[in-house]
Amino acid sequence: MKSDCFGYKKGRCAVLEKKKGIEDCYGCPFYKTVEENALGRKKAVDRILQLDSETRDRIILKYYGGNYKLLLGGN
């Protein structure tokens, strides 16, 4: 398990929800550093915010339960 992966939590892979050994992280399609994950999330949020209001509202309702603050990383 690569401890620098954003999905590494408490000695296991939180992305795949399976206990994985060190050798299993190499080549994993979900492997990203914390920084890479944060950048990817920011790009996705920026893209959503650029959409027309109807599409943006539909996405926020479906994936964020209508809570605009969740999209921006708040509570």
pLDDT tens, 19-35? 555 556 667 888 889 99
Confidence check: pLDDT of 69 > 80:
yes
Report which of residues 71 and 61 the model is more confident about. 61
Residue 16: the pLDDT is 79
Asked if 16 contacts 8 with a C-beta cutoff of 8 angstroms, the reply is no
Here the tokens at position 66 are 């209508």
Q: Where are the domains of the chain?
A: 1-32, 34-75
Phi, psi dihedral angles at 47 (to 5 degrees): -65, -45
